[in-house]
Amino acid sequence: MQGRRLARAWCGERAQGTVEYVALVALVALIMVGVIAAIKSTQFAEGQQLGSLILKKIADAVSKVHY
């Protein structure tokens, strides 16, 4: 009897870790986009170069991912 209750409770939390992981990745991506946008919008040439370099590195890393 108690085993069934435990099994039902366990099934209710199924895939919860995946949802939290996706939310965390989305939050980090949003923060990175904000930082890159702030760097690129600066009036200094160094900030624009740094923003462009970060964007290029991210694009290179994403293009290497194969599903």
- Distance in angstroms (rounded) separating the CA atoms of residues 61 and 55: 10
3-state class of 62 per DSSP?
A: helix
> What is residue 57's predicted lDDT score, i.e. its pLDDT?
87
Give 59's DSSP letter.
Answer: H
- Distance in angstroms (rounded) separating the CA atoms of residues 65 and 27: 20
pLDDT confidence bin for 4, thresholds 50/70/90: low
**Can you give the residue ranges of every domain in the chain?**
15-63
Which tens digit of pLDDT belongs to each residue from 8-57?
A: 655 656 666 788 888 888 898 888 888 877 777 766 667 678 778 888 88
pTM greater than 0.75 (yes/no): no
Higher per-residue pLDDT: 55 or 5:
55
